[in-house]
Structure 1
Amino acid sequence: MITGADDYPFHQTPDPMAFAGTDRNFYDRFFFNGYTPDGEVFVAVAFGLYPQLDVMDGAFCVLKDGKQHNVRVSRKMNADRSMLAVGPLSIEIVNPLKETRIRLTDNDSGIECDLICHARHEPIEEPRFTRRIGTRAFMDYTRLTQNVSWSGEISIGGETIRFDASDVFGTRDRSWGVRPVGNADSQPPREGSLTQFYWLWTPCNFENAVAFSHTNDDEYGRPWNRRAGTQIIGEPLREYDEVEYRYEWSPNTRRIASLIADMSSEAGRAELEFTPFKTFYMTGLGYGHPQWGHGKDQGDDAFAYDVMEAEACTPFDPLCLHIQALAKTELTIDGETHSGIGVVEQFFVGRHDRTGMLDGLAVLPEGER
């Protein structure tokens, strides 16, 4: 089955590009976020391709004035991965790993955008994410992370908001491989479904520096995937072998009130301190959404728009577990402190002994954590 994607010299097997292995959960996804210096406007984009399911979908979200506006789109892919457009939402790779254009044209939400993200540094390849349930591959994927700046404009509610690349920053990632997508498996693993997942991701931006760290931990608090680094713009990346997290929690919740990441290696030491002040709900982008979950078949051409009241989402609502908390951030390195902004992405389900999280969504009482 030959498609437009076959005109690009990126084949990895003798098959046409329409075929991506044999795992029905194969996916290929773009993710972006961006925020104004004062944090008053936060935008996020997800755009995914699911070759075995023949689905392409995406979402564009804006958090402003306490309201999270969510535009979601989906269509049948017709086996062609070369056309990165679903309804009014499109992705254009202007300069690979350097510039990407995102457009949201006229649609029923009244929200439109024409934005370009500009890379601030070379992409960081995170360790390959591989986790199994018994003999079943739950996830097996590669991801790159890259902090960016933004230029262009967004129109919402009759107001035009202009982004200047000198001070509107954010993060993009690209991931591809195997994750649970589409409808639930009709025959789960004999060991049962995954009941524990601990995910913390903290990319952040400063005027002349970037930093990031992430960890996937098991139920004992041991990392099975972790990486951290800092970079003064124009200088080499510094990586850290040891990362220790110090938490303060919002009372009786799984929400982080403040976070410090102590990082060290032969390259030296660095400290990242985060103070969250605003919450974005990843369900707006389809993560964990019961209807608009990634890769679900919505038909030939589907569109949806809704608005969430940010303060109305409770910490234990299943639609509100996976969040990106916009945070004031300080990086201390080489005796110098840089002030900036970033996100503390959090998705915590099940046990995590080091932080007092119990099975399900329970936590130890205040004072025992």
Structure 2
Amino acid sequence: MLTRGDDYPIHQTPEPIAYAGSDRNFYDRYFFNGYSPDGSEFVAVAFGVYPALNVADAHVSIIRGNVQRCLHASRVLGMERMELSVGPVRIEVIEPLQKLKVILARAEGLACELTFEGRAFPIEEPRFTRRNGPRMFMDYTRLTQNVRVSGWIEVDGERSPVGAGWTGTRDRSWGIRPVGAPDAQPTPGGGLAGFFWQWTPINFDDRSVFFHVNADPDGKAWNTRAVILPDGAKAEGGVHSDRPRMEDVTLRQGTRHAERGTLRIPVEGGEAEVRLEPMGYPFLMRGIGYGGEWRHGALKGELAVGREDIDLASVDMAAPENWHIQAISHATLTAPGEPERRGIGVFEQLIAGPYKPYGL
């Protein structure tokens, strides 16, 4: 099965690009978010292809006021992985690893045209590999890059510019994650005991701070990293630490969402400290396909497009479908010998099952 990708020198196996190994859960995904300087407006995008499922999907979700408006699109992939569009959503790679554009042609009352331009060379996070019993649960690589965002967003006929002061984050990940419909037959010894995830890409005026942690239910980290990256840094630039700590976390009453946290990163001369304070309503990740009816890789037919509006003021934040969030957050950075800096970013959280350090 030859496709457009076969005319580019990007093969990783002896097979045509249409084939991605033998695991049905292989995926290849783009993620973007962007937010206004005061955090009052937020947009996020997910775009994925699932070669073994022969499905592609895309999601654009916008918060204005207390409503999260979501545009979902899904189609049959047709084994053509170089076609970066699903219905009204299109990705343009203007300059690889530096500048990309997301276009949502007007659909269901929503539209946007957004350019994401990197502030430094992307970081490569440690490879995520995790088994549940005999089954591979995760095995993927991810690059992450903080960005400046420009363009416009339209919601129900009201268009607003995106420009001065807008920042955000984009990432690219590929490999194996659970996608599509779950297996009908459970695997003895393959159950998930729990899943703990925090991710905090933060934008300051002249630098970015990245942190992530996956941990066992008892709090032992199995994948973690923090990076402090000055604007314009090249590959391997910045300060990297495999010993960061997220401390002083308190959860909002009755939820699994943190209302504050303090990130500590070992640096020369001591520790850098980032205090995170979520503000407003959290962004629900199901709005861009992380669970729900429009979950990543779900087969919806030849082409399906739909809108979903979520009233963030009334939704049950304690419900399992709302555990996975990105909380737009104020951030304060202090580091040895440097003045205090204030920034903005997201505090992504997913706590599924027990987590002893938080009493869950």
Aligned to 1:332: 334
Q: Secondary structure at the match of 2:244?
A: strand
Alignment-derived partner of residue 365 in structure 1? none
Name the CA shift for 1:292/1:267 in 2 (closer, same or farther; >3 Å).
farther
Q: Is the contact made by 2:212 and 2:225 (CA closer than 8 Å) also made in structure 1? A: yes
Residue 290 of structure 2 is matched in structure 1 by 287
Q: Secondary structure at the match of 1:105?
A: strand
**TM-score, normalising length from structure 1?**
0.93
- What residue identity is the alignment partner of 1:152? G
Contact conserved, 1:201 with 1:346, CA < 8 A, in 2? yes
Name the counterpart of 1:129. 128
Query: 1:130, 1:197 → 2: CA distance?
Result: 13
Number of the residue aligned with 1:184: 182
Contact 1:240-1:267 at 8 Å conserved across structures: no
Deviation for aligned residue 1:193: 2.5
- The sequence identity of aligned pairs, in percent, is 44
Residue 37 of structure 2 aligns to a residue in which SS?
coil
Indicate how the Cα distance of structure 1 residues 226 and 186 shifts in structure 2: closer, same or farther if over 3 A, else same.
same
Whether the aligned pair in 2 keeps the contact of 1:241 and 1:265 (CA below 8 Å) is no
Which residue number in structure 2 is paired with residue 213 of structure 1?
211
Q: Distance in 1 between matches of 2:269 and 2:52?
A: 43
Residue 157 of structure 1 pairs with residue 156 of structure 2? yes
* Aligned residue in 1 for 2:168: 170
Residue 52 and residue 102 in structure 1: after superposition, are their counterparts in 2 closer, same or farther (change >3 A)?
same
Distance 2:312 2:114 in 1: 24
Give the equivalent residue in structure 1 for 2:266: 264
Residues of 2 paired with 1:73 and 1:16: CA distance? 27
Q: TM-score, normalised by structure 2?
A: 0.96
Q: CA shift at 1:37, angstroms? A: 0.4
Task: Output the CA distance in 2 between the equivalents of 1:267 and 1:254.
Answer: 35
Deviation at 1:268, TM superposition (A): 4.7
In the alignment, which residue of structure 2 is the partner of 1:199? Answer: 197
Q: How does 1:275-314 map to 2 (within 5 A)?
A: 275-278=277-280, 279-289=282-292, 291-314=293-316
Q: Is the 8 A contact 1:259 1:273 kept in 2?
A: yes
Are 1:242 and 2:243 counterparts? yes
What's the CA shift for 1:157? Answer: 2.2
Kept in 1: contact 2:58–2:86 (CA 8 A): yes
Identify the range of structure 1 (44-53 vs 127-136) with the bigger mean alpha-carbon deviation: 127-136
Provide the secondary structure at the position in 2 that maps to 1:103.
strand
Q: For 1:1-369, what aligned pairs fall within 5 Å after superposition?
A: 1-107=1-107, 109-164=108-163, 166-234=164-232, 236-246=237-247, 247-266=249-268, 268-278=270-280, 279-289=282-292, 291-334=293-336, 335-357=338-360
Which deviates further from its counterpart, 346-355 or 46-55?
A: 346-355
Counterparts of 2:139 and 2:168, CA distance in 1: 26
Give the deviation of 1:350 after TM superposition.
1.5
The runs of 5 or more residues in structure 2 that have no matched partner are none
C-alpha displacement of 1:240: 2.0
Letter in 2 for 1:347: L
CA contact (8 A) 2:135 2:190 kept: no
Say whether the 8 Å CA contact 1:47–1:58 is kept in structure 2.
Answer: yes
Aligned counterparts of 2:15 and 2:255: Cα–Cα separation in 1:
49
Q: Provide the alpha-carbon RMSD of the alignment.
A: 1.3
- Partner amino acid for 2:240? E
Q: Please give the secondary structure, in 2, of the residue aligned with 1:62.
A: strand
Q: Which amino acid aligns with 1:145?
A: T
**SS of 2:21's equivalent?**
coil
Task: State the one-letter code of the partner of 1:322.
Answer: H
Unaligned runs of 5+ in 1: 358-369
**2:60 and 2:211 mapped to 1: Cα distance?**
25
Is contact 1:288-1:319 (8 Å) kept?
yes
- The letter for the 1-side match of 2:356 is D
Aligned residues of 1:238 and 1:267 also touching (Cα < 8 A): no
AA aligned to 2:192 is: L
Aligned to 2:357, the other structure's residue is in SS state helix
| Superposed CA offset, 1:321-362 (max 9, x none) | 1000000011112332111100000100112222211xxxxx
Q: CA offsets, 1:62-109, max 9 Å, x none?
A: 0001100000000001000011001100001110010001000122x2
Task: Give me the whole-angstrom Cα distance separating, in 1, the residues matched to 2:190 and 2:213.
Answer: 24
| Secondary structure, counterpart of 1:284 in structure 2 | helix
**8 Å CA contact 2:204, 2:342 repeated in 1:** yes
SS of aligned partner of 1:12: coil
SS of residue in 2 equivalent to 1:242: coil
> Does the CA-based 8 Å contact 2:85-2:91 persist in structure 1?
yes
Q: Contact 1:26–1:178 (CA<8 Å) still a contact in 2?
A: yes
Amino acid of the residue matched to residue 286 of structure 1?
G
